Structure 1
Amino acid sequence: MRLHSLSSDSPISSPDSKPKSPISNLIDFTLLLSDELLLRVFSKLPDSQRNSNFLVCKRWLYLQGRLVRSLRVTDFEFLLSGRLVLRFPNLNQVDLVSGCWVSSRNSSILLSHGVLSMHIDPWFLLCSNVGDNVVLESVLIDRGLKVLATGCPNLRKLGLVGGSELGLLNVAKECELLQELELHKCSDCILQGIAAFENLQILKLVGSVDGFFTSLVTDIGLTIVARGCRRLVKLELSGCEGSFDGIKAIGQCCQMLEELTLCDHRMDDGWLAGLPYCENLKTLKIMSCQRIDANPGPDEYLSSCPALERLHLQNSQLRDKVSVRALFMTCGAAREILIRDCWGLDDDMFSFANNCWRVKLLLLEGCSLLTTEGLESVVLQWKELQSLEVISCKNIKDSCISPALSEVFSVLKNLKWRPDTKSLLSSSLIGTCMGKKGGRFF
């Protein structure tokens, strides 16, 4: 961006004059442009070019920081020192999850769990719950939250680990536009601070993670969230306890709730009966759960969620007939059912899906116990089925397809049929000399 001067005065016109330094003939024409105009120019550049602009000069370094909107912090000291808000004053999405741990960069042991990873000292591995010992003190996290809230009042999304009620209250006071919050290692006491976010729409609460950290979220905390965050649209509960009372409170108070996700839940028996109180619930996700509801109660207490459209089951145990039957009764109005890698889903368990007679889309993946007969007994009852995807279900055989099931396939708008991955692999290896004894070695 620095150009040579085009002035007519040059060393050639005066032979007796001394040659000037090349630096003295350089003019920075970008100094004539205002910061606002340069920001507009930088915003039009692709990311591959925009990220290298800060190497030009200090002014461009400062301007480039004003264009950054999202940041993942791995060093919490960077936030405590105030350099983060000074360098990036216009942030609206900040992820502090990876930075809230006592991480040892000199250690060769990398511990990863879900969305976070850290280098830890070997002696931490001897602890029963590693995360309880390596998380930063609440005082430091609250101090960092205060610095962040003061410097970035337009914050829309925040993720962190630990902290206290006071730290969240500071964020709620300064960042009134915050809409999405992700909190790990939370408890009922901390949830009193979350209730101050009146405009919160997306909330993810992580209570206990086996072998990593332990925290307690009960019906008390769920009720506090329900009464304070009435504009919730999406709620995810991971490793949280609770029961019918907590789910009922969320359904009655958060009337805008459209998506509920339960991951590795520790709910008490009977919580399924609280789902019908979520009158506008459209999506229910149950992921990595060892059980659904061991004792859902009598059928008269189980009714269908009126607005439910999608049921998503993934990596969960579906071995208990009572709980699986109660789940499909509660989700009787579902139009889409997605089941991925769930253990125990055999023909008897899948037969309870007959209650969901309005299904238009069915996806089955990794259901190794389900047979062609079990699939046919349910699919033939669904008169509105339009899309079917069967992937990696080894007991569903092409040779067992009946004429009635074949006729259903012919009228579907979308059909993805790959139940046996072994036959698919063998057909793709034809002509390559692979798969024969002594043919190829890896």
Structure 2
Amino acid sequence: MRGYDRINPMLPDELILEIFNHLDSKSSRDACSIVCKRWLGLERLSRETIRIGASGSPDALVKLMARRFVNVRNVFIDERLSMSVPVEIGRRRHADQSALSSLGLHFLTEKSGPEDGETESYCLSDAGLCAVGDGFTKLEKLSLIWCSNVTSFGLSSVAEKCRSLKSLDLQGCYVGDQGLAAVGECCKQLEDLNLRFCEGLTDRGLVELALGCGKALKLLGVAACAKITDVSLESVGCYCSSLETLSLDSEFIHNKGVLAVAKGCPLLKILKLQCINVTDDALHAVGIFCLSLELLSLYSFQRFTDKSLCAIGKGCKKLKNLTLSDCYFLSDKGLEAVALGCSELTHLEVNGCHNIGTFGLESIGRSCKHLSELALLYCQKIGNFALSEVGKGCKYLQALQLVDCSSIGDDAICSIARGCRNLKKLHIRRCYEVGNKGIIAVGENCKFLTDLSLRFCDRVGDEALVAIGQGCSLHRLNVSGCHQIGDAGMIAIARGSPRLKFLDVSVLQYLGDIAMAALGEGCPLLRDVVLSHCRRISDVGLANIAKKCALLETCHMVYCPNITSAGVATVITSCANIKKVLVEKWKVSQRTKRRAGSVISYLCVDL
């Protein structure tokens, strides 16, 4: 019978709530909420997470959300994301409902430009933060990103009313010691604390927090806090015995602080350090006391030597992930010690460590049989034989990244291809000795490859892409700057990779409309396309992509002389899901701008 409700009388509230809890997207929840008043109310009860852009009356918006969603446990407020409220909240009886309807709960809308800035914008204040505390009493996770107007008063209010808080992110907030002390006093379950760029904090605030809730704290991040010194870390080492993750980026931390953490936090699993005044002594202590360490990242250390890595290799047998970035005094000896001692290593990144060469990486290939990801960036001394050993010993390797490794060529890539047949991701940039031979070997042997990037590898041409197209089904492809690639190679990709979603073919001078037609026919799932600096692609080729790739979301096409305003208009009118078009300003007609001005970005003006 028309108009008869066959669902609601049969389903209890509990079952509908359970269904809502299994929905994996916000759009699905929003769709359910407009079915009927009952479903709207139940969906509001089931909502646990909200995200708000902290501009355009955010305080009023927080109060509105608190009234609507009483069971929210996770609140994310980000001042970097703007939001315009179309209705002045509170002006008339149903203003809050109108605002909510107009927003569609999609808070993270982006303003199109200064010309649309009539709506008053301001930052989240203590009043809004107090509303968070009043409205979301079940709060467990609060993230305030660059909310620079909130102070200790607002944070104290949240701490006093949200005593179940487990995670607090204050990145870029200028809160003071009193607020942090209140968190320590009231939030005894706090496990996760991020204090990156909190310039208003001193040792006093972090010490009091450690005293108050240090027993529960498991994760701590500190960066660019000039007044937080070794005194704070000594308190962390004394009171935070359950700490598992520590991230430090500071010029004011010395050995004393890191030593205190190493000795007092035996459960430490993740350690990330960018502290120029920390030396071998601190890392030696980590090797002795932190036997559960699984991830170690060292950035920009000019005082660490092989002594540090030898201590890590000797003591941290559970280490699985190691990043060494711009550590100039580390050499093959240190990397060999890690290879021999940390046989469970699965992820290794060596970035700009100019004294690490072929021998060190050979040791990794011989000893670390479980290696699954390897990244070598700006490693001029690492040659082909190193990757040959990796190819022989690391059969589980799934991701390889090479950037500016001038001594690595086709022989190394062939060894990887033949030995690491589970490879899924291969990124190579500006490795000028890599050409068709190596990439053909990849196509013939690595059947699981889905992500391939060959940026500015100018010896790679169509022959290589034909082999890839015949042997692999790619999801992502970036061949920008590989100027020998033309239509033949891209046609092979179109035929062999029907699930391709991302494509960057910028700066390919020989690529034309024939390839675009093949991509349109063969790759209907394309979402992101970069065509910039392609001189032979015209409106005709662009239309093939726009009309046949219905899921297209972004298209970059600057410096394409044969693409005109008509081509831009075709993309706008044909792609219902388009979110960003990057193009020269003069190629956008007034009609196109009126129709979709919010999705158009301009790299160059008046060219």
Is TM more than 0.5 here?
yes
Q: In the aligned structure 2, how far is the partner of 1:80 from the partner of 1:105?
A: 10
> How does 1:391-402 map onto structure 2 within 5 Å?
391-393=375-377, 394-395=379-380, 398-401=383-386
Deviations 1:140-181 (A, max 9, x none): 32x323322232222111112353333333323332222111
- 1:207 corresponds to 2:202: no
Tell me the SS of whatever aligns to 1:148.
Answer: helix
Residue in structure 2 matching 1:67, options 43, 46, 60: 46
- 1:255 corresponds to 2:241: yes
Amino acid at match of 1:201: E
Deviation at 1:103, TM superposition (A): 7.3
- Tell me, yes or no, if the aligned pair for 2:218 and 2:242 is still in contact at 8 Å: yes
* Count of residues paired in the alignment: 376
Deviation at 1:43, TM superposition (A): 4.4
* 1:7 alignment counterpart: none
Tell me the SS of whatever aligns to 1:267.
Answer: coil
Compared CA separation, residues 390 and 78, structure 1 to 2 (3 A) = closer
- Tell me, yes or no, if the aligned pair for 2:336 and 2:360 is still in contact at 8 Å: no
Compared CA separation, residues 424 and 344, structure 1 to 2 (3 A) = same
Tell me the SS of whatever aligns to 2:266.
Answer: coil
- 1:336 corresponds to 2:313: no
* 1:440 alignment counterpart: 510
- 1:39 corresponds to 2:28: no
Tell me the SS of whatever aligns to 2:53.
Answer: coil
TM-score for both structures, normalised by structure 2: 0.52
* 1:414 alignment counterpart: 396
* 2:60 alignment counterpart: 80
* 2:117 alignment counterpart: none
Deviations 1:28-60 (A, max 9, x none): 456646544543454456645442122233443
Residue in structure 1 matching 2:218, options 233, 248, 272: 233
Compared CA separation, residues 330 and 399, structure 1 to 2 (3 A) = closer
- Tell me, yes or no, if the aligned pair for 1:94 and 1:158 is still in contact at 8 Å: yes
- 1:158 corresponds to 2:142: yes
* 2:158 alignment counterpart: 171
Q: In the aligned structure 2, how far is the partner of 1:299 from the partner of 1:237?
A: 18
Q: In the aligned structure 1, how far is the partner of 2:483 from the partner of 2:142?
A: 51
- Tell me, yes or no, if the aligned pair for 1:206 and 1:240 is still in contact at 8 Å: yes
- 1:192 corresponds to 2:181: yes
Amino acid at match of 1:364: E
Q: In the aligned structure 2, how far is the partner of 1:280 from the partner of 1:78?
A: 40
Q: In the aligned structure 1, how far is the partner of 2:223 from the partner of 2:195?
A: 6
Deviations 1:37-89 (A, max 9, x none): 54345445664544212223344322222221111012564553632022211
Compared CA separation, residues 413 and 145, structure 1 to 2 (3 A) = same
Q: Which runs of 5+ in 2 are unaligned?
A: 87-107, 115-120, 403-407, 409-427, 440-460, 467-481, 487-508, 512-533, 535-607
- Tell me, yes or no, if the aligned pair for 2:245 and 2:269 is still in contact at 8 Å: yes
Larger Rg computed on CA atoms: 1
Structure possessing the higher relative contact order (Cα contacts under 8 Å, 6 or more residues apart): 1
Amino acid at match of 1:220: R
Structure 1 window deviating more from structure 2 (296-305 vs 337-346): it is 296-305
Residue in structure 1 matching 2:79, options 90, 95, 98: 98
Q: In the aligned structure 2, how far is the partner of 1:236 from the partner of 1:168?
A: 18
Residue in structure 2 matching 1:358, options 336, 341, 357: 341
* 2:455 alignment counterpart: none
Deviation at 1:246, TM superposition (A): 2.0
**Alpha carbon RMSD of aligned pairs, Å?**
4.1
Deviations 1:86-121 (A, max 9, x none): 22111111102338x997899xxxxxxxxx998699
Tell me the SS of whatever aligns to 1:73.
Answer: strand
Compared CA separation, residues 310 and 372, structure 1 to 2 (3 A) = same
Deviation at 1:257, TM superposition (A): 0.7
Tell me the SS of whatever aligns to 1:387.
Answer: coil
Compared CA separation, residues 182 and 35, structure 1 to 2 (3 A) = same
Deviation at 1:226, TM superposition (A): 1.4
Q: In the aligned structure 2, how far is the partner of 1:166 from the partner of 1:303?
A: 41
Identity %: 21
* 2:207 alignment counterpart: 223
Tell me the SS of whatever aligns to 1:96.
Answer: strand
TM-score for both structures, normalised by structure 1: 0.69
Q: In the aligned structure 1, how far is the partner of 2:39 from the partner of 2:236?
A: 48
Q: In the aligned structure 2, how far is the partner of 1:436 from the partner of 1:104?
A: 47
Tell me the SS of whatever aligns to 2:348.
Answer: strand
- Tell me, yes or no, if the aligned pair for 1:79 and 1:144 is still in contact at 8 Å: yes
Q: Which runs of 5+ in 1 are unaligned?
A: 5-25, 107-115, 123-133, 209-214
Q: In the aligned structure 1, how far is the partner of 2:72 from the partner of 2:177?
A: 29
Q: In the aligned structure 1, how far is the partner of 2:73 from the partner of 2:287?
A: 41
